[in-house]
Amino acid sequence: MKPKSLWPLLLAVLTACDQSQPQLMPPPDGMVLVPAGEFVMGSDEVDTEGKQEEFGFREPMYMDEHPRHKASVDAFYIDRYEVTNGEYKRFVLATGVEPPPPWIQNGYNASEHRLSRFDSETLRRVAADYFQLDMDTSKMEKAELVAELMKLQAGRDQLPVTAVNWYDAASYCRWRGKRLPSEAEWEKAARGPDGYRYPWGDGWDPAKANVGDNDTGVTVSPGSYPQDKSVYGVFDLGGNVSEWVNDWYQGYPGADYESELYGDDIYKVVKGGGAGVGHYALSYFYRSARRGQADPLTLSVDVGFRCAMSGEYR
Q: What are the sequence ranges of the domains in the chain?
A: 31-84+161-310, 85-157
Q: What is the mean pLDDT of residues 123-142?
A: 85
CA 165 to chain CA mean position, Å: 13
pLDDT at position 276 over 90: no
pLDDT above 80 for 28:
yes
Query: What percent of the chain has pLDDT above 70?
Result: 89
Whether residue 214 is predicted with pLDDT greater than 60 in this model: the reply is: no
Query: What value does the mean pLDDT take over residues 14-37?
Result: 80
Q: What is the mean predicted confidence (pLDDT) over 234-259?
A: 96
The neighbour count for residue 182, using CB atoms within 10 Å, is: 17
Residue 13 has pLDDT above 60, yes or no: no
258-259-261-262 Cα dihedral, nearest 10 degrees: -20
Least confident window among 71-85, 121-135, 182-196, 286-300: 121-135
The whole-number average pLDDT for the span 229-257 is 97
* Distance between CA atoms of residues 205 and 78, nearest Å: 25
Choose which CATH entry (3.90.1580.10, 3.30.360.10, 3.60.40.10, 3.40.50.920) describes domain 31-84+161-310. 3.90.1580.10
Residue 287 has pLDDT above 80, yes or no: yes
Q: pTM for the whole thing?
A: 0.89
pLDDT exceeds cutoff 90 at 230: yes
Question: Residue 190's closest CA among 157, 231, 158, 153?
Answer: 231
pLDDT of residue 14: 47
Parallel, antiparallel, or unpaired: how do β-strands 76-79 and 308-310 relate?
A: antiparallel
* Confidence tier at 313 by pLDDT (50, 70, 90): confident
pLDDT confidence of 127, banded at 50, 70, 90? confident
Q: What share of residues in the chain are helix, strand, coil (percent, to 5)?
A: 30, 15, 55
Distance CA 220, CA 159 (A): 6
pLDDT of residue 130: 82
**In this model, does residue 4 exceed pLDDT 70?**
no
Residue 31: is its pLDDT beyond 90? yes
CA 242-244-247 angle, 5° bins: 135
Average pLDDT, the chain: 90
The CA-CA-CA angle for residues 240, 219, 270, to 5°, reads 40
Query: What mean pLDDT comes out for the span 166-193?
Result: 98
Residue 17 is predicted with a pLDDT of 47
Q: Which residues contact 91 (CB under 8 A, 6 or more apart)?
A: 97, 171, 172, 175, 176
pLDDT of residue 3: 53
Give the pLDDT confidence score for residue 170 in this predicted structure: 98
